[in-house]
Chains A and B, each alone.
Chain A
Amino acid sequence: MTATAADVGHGYTTTGLPHRKIAIWAFIGSECMLFASLISTYLIYKGRSIAGPFPHEAWTDPSTHHVYKAILNIPVTSCSTFVLLMSSLAMVLALAAVENRDVPKHTLGDRILGSSKLWLFTTAALGATFLSFQAYEFTSFVHEGLTIRTNLFGSSFFTLTGFHGAHVTAGVLWLLTMLGIDFKRGLGPKDALNVDIMALYWHFVDVVWIAIFTLIYLIK
């Protein structure tokens, strides 16, 4: 294979992959270290809080004899985890719809599956639902007596899940921006790369949540 002048013209890349695809993977690698630092700190500080409330067991304040129940509400968070996982499915469908925009659609099913607007909206809506769950969770924890200042558990828990929530928020804004562009001029195969990159980010944030849910919520 010899390279001709046209091969190395504008748009030529060594790997054949677009630049942004490589950059997003590098970014995700970097983000792994970010969340690894947060999760490690949470695990190191697990069980080291001097005063409650605690994540998995009740605690009686020795001075007031007030009983604080275990903080983590696993059934509720299981629901929000399910919602976030489903958003990844919607994201996959959104990307497929953008890629196959020009494929003729014959049935109602084809049209539903092929609607990038519907699936982008669904992904964003599920993401926003997850964030609402988190807002509910945070407020109820504060009502139960756990704030970011209360103890080591509060500091490391709110910081870790807050960082994840901020990532989901950025993802929802990204999705809504794409949805806006879709309404304005329609997303087609030439936009597939942009949607693909967004999807990689979204799935990554989702995978991080699986790690958080397992390590922080499920393991006692």
Chain B
Amino acid sequence: MATIAAPLVVPRTADEPYGVWSWLATTDHKRIGTLYLFTALTFMLIGGLEAEIMRTQLMRPNQHIVSAELYNQLFTMHGTTMIFLVIMPLSAAFFNLLIPLQIGARDVAFPRLNAFSYWVYLFGGIFITLPILFGAAPNGGWFGYAPLTTKTYSPGLNIDFWVIGLQILGISSLAAGFNFITTIINMRAPGMNLMRMPLFTWMSFVVQFLIILAFPVITIALVFLLFDRFFGTNFYEIARGADPLLWQHLFWIFGHPEVYILVLPAFGLVSEVMPTFARKPLFGYPVMVYSGILIGMLGFGVWAHHMFAVGMGPIADSFFAVTTMLIAIPTGVKIFNWIFTLWGGSIRFTTAAMFAIGMVAMFTIGGISGVMHSSPPADLQQTDTYFVVGHFHYVIFGGSLMGLFAGLYTYFPKFTGRLLDERLGKWHFWVNFFGSNLVFFPMHFSGLLGMPRRIWTYDGGQGWDTFNFLSTMGAYLLIPATLILVYNIWKSTKSGRIAGNDPWGAGTLEWSIPSPPPPYNFAVIPKVTSRYPLWDVKPPLASTPVPNTPTHSEAPAPTAAELGIPMPYHTLKPFLTALALPIMFGGLMLMHLENKLPHYVFMYGGAAMLVGCLYWWLTTPLEPEHHHA
């Protein structure tokens, strides 16, 4: 195979459409994954900026850079953004890109529903993010505890944006959940039985069940809050006999599985990255699968450990303490299995491998401080302090985000055809690693010294000053780290090295096809006989010795038409159906205006548009009629 001289062009099939239309109307899971990726990274910059402002405010005692009210909006939006608009969609970017490729499918089960999920996410994200520009952003914390968030205590539009924004975003996650469950159950290539499925797909599978079972609960909690705020119902009105714990229970029945929704995809990615760069199969594959399932199941039985401080009594406290300790077991199993995967491997320290190893280290710290909370007496000392903030940032930043970065460095070629720059990647890793530890580690100390969460400023001389200063310095280190990543993505998308099919010598199906894959993915659906089919042909130790060295570039793949593969039509219907949601809900928000006309026009207009577009969508075929041979 010939070595291609620069400038290299990523091979694309001739019939691939281009331009804005091709993105608005796409149903291709890889393009939708790319949209998710870049949208989530954009929201990450916004959520990161919010954190930087907070850390600047807290750098020294008694600073007044932002007002207390704006600070409330900042921490609410930082949490909401990072959870719902960054980590979940970044995971969704990988669900979209990888699930069909890893199971040997040509797309997801419902390509248009998939596009719908993305557009709902985008519009919901804009809906909930824009108000901060007008000082009207949600200000009740990402958990939005009612009755604090009822009209009595939170007048104004802030919480309305939050309730409705989350309601819209929930639709996106639910639709995607049904889609991916069907895809994984029903679109596996022949021979791809469940115990041969790559671990990322397995963990994604578990996550989709968590999503479809946990999101309805917060949907109902939000419906109650919305009805209380808009129609005067009494769900959270304590004076009318309501239970002040109703919201907390409903929220955390959703909220704790949500924690695993955030971290299991990263677990899956790390479980792909480790074998690839240690060049040996994953240690204890079946145990990794079962522990993932067990984490998902136990995840529904630990929610009240978020509520030890409310006084549920010794029986409930003991029950949730025990389940919380139990869930540490399958999680610990995973950590040991990753370490044993590295053990005796021929490790290549690429950026992706470093992020994966860093993730295991950081997540272990977060996991250990997490088990500390499982004991109610200890938790009573730690709850609502910066100790908890330190803990969950080790889990979500150190665990989820670093795992997702490991995935990004590995799978960037499948998005774009090009590799991310390794030198910049290592800078990104080290600055990010030192920065994040410098932000979050001192928080354990300031927390144990009694610094409460969510305070907008504090008096000096309580022993918190140094730790806060260090945290802020760490936060400032994350700025260059993020800028390096942004520059790397920008540069590598334009002129990164051409990856070829399999730049890392990995073993799973997604590496058997070009990067980026042609629209139909697999010209011939593969037959799978093992967990690492590519390593059956080419053992891992014989694979590319030096990372980031392109070997060759394949000729453009044949078009779908040439191969006789029916492809879905391009369609705007999912986009338009999704657009109807913010119009309809935006109309609801106009209800309290003196003039009712805009309220009726937008709400009923949006509802009519939603129903009309749905009918139009459901009564038109997905793809051209095809004839069976």
The residues of A with any CB-CB pair to B shorter than 8 Å are 3, 5-15, 17, 19, 22-23, 26-27, 29-31, 33-34, 37-38, 41, 44-45, 48-50, 148-149, 151-152, 154-156, 159, 177
Interface stretch of the complex, out of B138-146, B236-244, B263-271, B385-393: B236-244
Q: A9-B629, A49-B240 are in contact. List 8 more A-B contacts (CB 8 A).
A: A19-B110, A23-B109, A50-B240, A50-B241, A148-B233, A149-B234, A154-B234, A159-B227
User: In the complex, what's the smallest C-beta–C-beta distance from A183 to chain B, in angstroms?
Assistant: 15
Report whether B185 and A151 are in contact in the complex, using a CB–CB cutoff of 8 Å: no
- Residue in A closest to B181 when the chains form the complex, CB atoms: A26
Residue of B nearest to A149 (CB): B232
A15 near B185 (CB under 8 angstroms)? yes
On whether A15 and B241 interact (CB within 8 A), knowing A34-B219, A37-B250, A159-B233, the answer reads no
Which chain B positions have C-beta within 8 A of A23?
109-110, 178-179, 181-182
Would you give the shortest CB distance from A94 to chain B, in whole angstroms?
Answer: 19
* Pair A3/B191 contact, Cβ less than 8 Å: yes
Smallest Cβ distance from A52 to chain B, in angstroms? 12
Once the chains bind, are A10 and B626 in contact (CB under 8 Å)? Answer: yes
By a CB distance below 8 angstroms, the chain B residues around A45 are 241-243
A contact residues around B234 at 8 Å (CB):
149, 151-152, 154-155
Complex Cα–Cα for A9 and B527 (A): 13
In the complex, which of the residues B110, B185, B242 contacts A152, with contact meaning CB atoms closer than 8 Å? B242
Segment with Cβ contacts to A, from B210-218, B336-344, B351-359, B493-501: B210-218
Q: Whole-angstrom distance from the CB of B260 to the nearest CB of chain A?
A: 16
The answer, yes or no, to whether B261 is at the interface (CB within 8 Å) is no
Q: Is the CB of B243 within 8 A of A8?
A: no
Kindly list chain B residues whose C-beta atoms are within 8 Å of the C-beta of A12: 525
CB distance from A179 to the nearest CB of B (A): 14
| Nearest residue, chain B, Cβ from A6 | B629
- List, in ascending order, chain B residues with CB within 8 A of A154's CB: 233-234
Q: Which residues of chain B (612-629) have a CB below 8 Å from chain A?
A: 615, 626, 628-629
**Complex Cα spacing A183 to B241, Å:** 53
Residues on A with beta carbons closer than 8 Å to the beta carbon of B219:
34, 37
The interface residues of chain A lying within 8 Å CB-to-CB of B109 are 19, 22-23
**Contact A22 B232, beta carbon cutoff 8 Å:** no
With A and B bound together, what is the CA distance between A159 and B189 in angstroms? 45
Checking B174, B217, B224, B240 against A159 with a beta-carbon cut-off of 8 angstroms, the contacting residue is B224
In the bound assembly, the distance between CA atoms of A10 and B233 in angstroms comes to 51
A189 to chain B, nearest CB (A): 16
- Checking B182, B217, B243, B565 against A37 with a beta-carbon cut-off of 8 angstroms, the contacting residue is B217
A3 cross-chain contacts in B, Cβ below 8 A? 190-191, 527
Q: Known A3-B527, A49-B241, A152-B242; judge A19-B182 contact (CB<8 A).
A: yes
| Bound CA span A7–B110, Å | 20
A38 to B189, CA, bound (A): 40
How near does chain A come to B213, taking the closest CB pair, in angstroms? Answer: 5
User: Interface digits, B187-198 against A, CB 8 Å rule (1 contact, 0 not)?
Assistant: 111111000000
- Among candidates A5, A11, A30, A177, residue contacting B216 with C-beta atoms closer than 8 Å: A30
User: Which of A27, A37, A148 counts the most chain B CB atoms within 10 A?
Assistant: A37
Given contacts A6-B629, A23-B181, A148-B233, contact A30 B174 (CB under 8 A): yes
Closest residue of B by beta carbon distance from A156: B235
* Complex interface: chain B residues within 8 A of A5 (CB): 524
- List 8 A-B residue pairs with CB atoms under 8 Å apart, sorted by A's residue number: A3-B191, A7-B190, A14-B187, A33-B216, A37-B221, A41-B224, A148-B233, A151-B241
Q: Find chain B residues with CB under 8 A from A31 CB.
A: 216
Q: Which residues of B contact A151 (CB under 8 A)?
A: 234, 240-241
Q: A23-B181, A23-B182, A152-B242 are in contact. Are A38 and B233 (CB under 8 A)?
A: no
A154–B565 alpha-carbon span in the complex (Å): 56
B4 at the interface (CB under 8 A from A): no
Q: Which residue of B lies closest to A5 (CB)?
A: B524
Query: Which of B174, B188, B213 has a CB less than 8 Å from the CB of A14?
Result: B188
Whether the Cβ atoms of A26 and B177 lie closer than 8 Å is: yes
In the complex, chain A residues whose CB is within 8 Å of the CB of B187: 13-14, 19
The reply to whether A29 and B231 form a contact with Cβ atoms under 8 Å apart is no
Interface residues of B (CB under 8 A from A): 109-110, 174, 177-179, 181-182, 185-192, 212-217, 219-221, 223-224, 227, 231-235, 240-243, 246, 250, 524-525, 527, 565-566, 615, 626, 628-629
> Is there contact, CB below 8 Å, between A30 and B220?
no
Q: How many A-B residue pairs have CB under 8 A?
A: 122
Complexed CA–CA distance, A11 and B527 (Å): 16
The CA-CA distance from A9 to B232 in the complex, in Å, is 56
Q: How far is the CB of B88 from chain A (nearest CB, A)?
A: 17
Task: Flag if A30 contacts B178 (CB, 8 Å).
Answer: yes
Query: For residue B190, which residues in chain A have a CB less than 8 angstroms away from its CB?
Result: 3, 7-8
A205 to B174, CA, bound (A): 19
Q: How far is the CA of A200 from the CA of B109 in the complex (A)?
A: 20
Q: How far is the CB of B333 from chain A (nearest CB, A)?
A: 27
Query: Could you say which of A27, A155, A159 has the most chain B C-beta atoms within 10 Å of its C-beta?
Result: A155
Q: Is the CB of B525 within 8 A of A8?
A: yes
The answer to whether B221 touches A148, judged by C-beta atoms less than 8 angstroms apart, is no
Q: CA A23 – CA B232 in complex, angstroms?
A: 36
**Which interface residue of A8, A14, A41, A48 has the most chain B CB atoms within 10 A?**
A14
Chain A residues with CB under 8 A of B525: 8, 12
A59 to B430, CA, bound (A): 70
**Cα–Cα, bound, A37→B251 (Å):** 11
- Residues in B with CB closer than 8 Å to A17 are 186
CB-defined contacts of A15 to chain B, threshold 8 Å: 185-186
8 Å CB contact of A11 from B110, B220, B628: B628
Chain A residues within an 8 Å CB radius of B615: 177
Closest A residue to B188 by CB, please name it.
A14
Give bound CA distance, A219 to B338, whole Å.
Answer: 53
Residues on A with beta carbons closer than 8 Å to the beta carbon of B233: 148-149, 154-155, 159
A148–B241 CB distance below 8 A: no
A23-B182, A50-B241 known; A41 vs B110 contact (CB < 8 Å): no
Bound together, the chains give a CA A129 to CA B244 distance in angstroms of 39
Which chain A residues border B223 with CB–CB below 8 Å?
159
Expressed in whole angstroms, the Cα–Cα distance for A8 and B104 within the complex equals 11
Nearest residue, chain A, Cβ from B232 = A149
User: B228 — nearest CB in chain A belongs to which residue?
Assistant: A155
Q: Which of B110, B216, B227, B629 has the most CB of A within 10 A?
A: B216
Instruction: Identify which of A14, A29, A41, A148 contacts B185 (C-beta below 8 A).
Output: A14
Judging by beta carbons under 8 Å apart, are B186 and A22 in contact?
Answer: yes
Q: What are the 5 closest A-B residue pairs judged by CB atoms, nearest first?
A: A3-B190, A34-B216, A37-B220, A155-B233, A33-B216
B147 to chain A, nearest CB (A): 13
In the docked arrangement, what's the CA distance between A10 and B520, Å?
12
Instruction: For the complex, give the distance between the alpha carbons of A41 and B224 in Å.
Output: 10
Contact B178 A8 (CB under 8 A): no
Please measure, in the bound complex, the distance between the C-alpha atom of A144 and the C-alpha atom of B192, giving whole angstroms: 62
Question: Cβ of A41 and Cβ of B220 under 8 Å apart?
Answer: yes
A3-B527, A23-B182, A155-B227 known; A48+B628 contact, CB < 8 A? no
